[in-house]
């Protein structure tokens, strides 16, 4: 079994854009609403990555009780700000905010999280049109490519069908000619699907959902989940101990998909800046 080491690949990718960033002088802005502890940790990592890549960074901190139209007004300001070449609205947002409406207000050319319908829609055409793909799925593809893991013709099973991870990674796998099955909470007999997987991508948010008896020998496992176990330690959706004994490759949590998401965001930030020159 080999680990899919997202941490070291992420560092390499971030370092690789430094020279380009020094020429382009992009700025990434992050809108952070409230003080959600996990969001604050993710934002800190994004800031650190910008510093490492020589990308300008700006944070817009807003109160939890902000009204939806006020939040959209902040998005509009960044849409108009020529210094900001890309920005994201850190999710989750408070329950009082309707997320799709906020995402819809982001200028697609600055949408470096790739959540805007225009960018998601382009992705459906083919891999050539994945200009600003959502960061987590994009990071997963880069991780698989780095380890020369073939995708074409493989059985790829995705567990989770969220708009930001499960659905777009399913499309990106289909774009690369995999046979894709997307499972979710209503899937009957999950194990009958996971057992067929050559590549199993799990993005649910439930520690220990996938156990060794649910996978076949040699499977490649990408664990997207971020959870805390009973001891308060970070863990994924996959029971690492039982699954790693059967897997040919497995991404650890932490150190797998998380850092790759940050690297993909940095690459999207460079790409968006290039298109605004």
The binding site for ligand NAP (CB under 6 A) comprises 136, 159-162, 164-166, 183-185, 187, 190, 203-206, 209, 224-227, 257-258, 261
Give the nearer residue to ligand NAP in terms of CB position, either 45 or 242: 45
CB of 190 to ligand NAP, least distance (A): 6
Report, in Å, the least distance between residue 23 CB and ligand NAP. Answer: 28
Nearer to ligand NAP, 24 or 87 (CB): 87
Minimum separation from the CB atom of position 262 to ligand NAP (A): 8
Cα separation, 255 vs 11, in Å, equals 11
Find the shortest distance in angstroms from Cβ 116 to ligand NAP.
Answer: 16
Q: Which residue number, 68 or 162, has a Cβ lying nearer to ligand NAP?
A: 162
Classify burial at 37, counting beta carbons within 10 Å of its beta carbon; exposed 0-12, middle 13-18, buried 19 or more.
exposed
CA distances from 121 to 55, 99, 108, 203 (A): 28, 18, 11, 21
Measured from the CB atom, is 186 or 241 closer to ligand NAP?
A: 186
Residue 24 Cα distances to 47, 55, 178, 270, angstroms: 18, 9, 36, 8
Q: How many whole angstroms separate alpha carbon 259 and alpha carbon 142? A: 12
- Active-site positions? 46, 90, 113
CB of residue 223 vs ligand NAP: minimum separation in angstroms?
A: 8
Closest by CA position to 238, among listed 221, 255, 254: 221
Taking the least distance from each CB to ligand NAP, the nearer of 24 and 42 is 42
CA angle, 24 as apex, 19 and 87 as ends, to 5°? Answer: 110
In the complex, what is the shortest distance from the CB of residue 165 to ligand NAP, in angstroms, rounded to a whole number? 4
**Residue 139 phi, psi (nearest 5):** -60, -40
DSSP-derived 3-state class of residue 161: coil
Beta-carbon count within 10 A of 65 CB:
10
Distance CA 109, CA 152 (A): 30
C-alpha 265, offset from chain centre: 8
- CB 57 within 8 Å of CB 50: yes
């Amino acid at each position: 079994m080999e680990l899919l080491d997202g941490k070291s690949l992420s560092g390499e990718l971030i370092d690789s854009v430094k020279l380009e960033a020094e020429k382009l002088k992009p700025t990434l802005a992050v809108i952070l609403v409230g003080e959600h502890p996990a969001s604050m940790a993710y934002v800190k990592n994004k800031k650190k990555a910008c510093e490492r890549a020589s990308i300008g960074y700006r944070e817009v901190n807003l109160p939890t009780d902000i009204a939806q139209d006020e939040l959209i007004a902040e998005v509009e300001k960044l849409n108009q700000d020529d210094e900001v070449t890309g920005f994201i609205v850190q999710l989750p947002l408070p329950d009082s905010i309707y997320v799709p409406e906020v995402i819809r207000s982001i200028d697609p050319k600055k949408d470096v999280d790739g959540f805007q319908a225009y960018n998601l829609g382009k992705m459906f055409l083919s891999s050539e049109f994945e200009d600003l793909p959502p960061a987590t799925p994009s990071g997963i593809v880069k991780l698989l490519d780095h380890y020369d893991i073939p995708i074409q013709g493989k059985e790829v099973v995705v567990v989770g069908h969220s708009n930001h991870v499960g659905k777009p990674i399913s499309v990106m796998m289909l774009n690369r000619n995999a046979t894709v099955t997307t499972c979710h909470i209503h899937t009957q007999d999950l194990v009958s699907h996971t057992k067929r997987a050559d590549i199993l991508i799990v993005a649910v948010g439930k520690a220990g959902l996938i156990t060794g008896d649910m996978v076949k020998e040699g499977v490649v496992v990408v664990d997207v989940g971020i959870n805390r176990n009973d001891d308060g330690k970070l863990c994924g959706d996959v029971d690492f101990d039982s699954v790693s004994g059967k897997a040919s490759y497995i991404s650890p949590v932490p150190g797998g998909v998380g850092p790759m998401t940050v690297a993909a965001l940095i690459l999207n930030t460079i790409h968006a800046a290039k298109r605004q020159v």
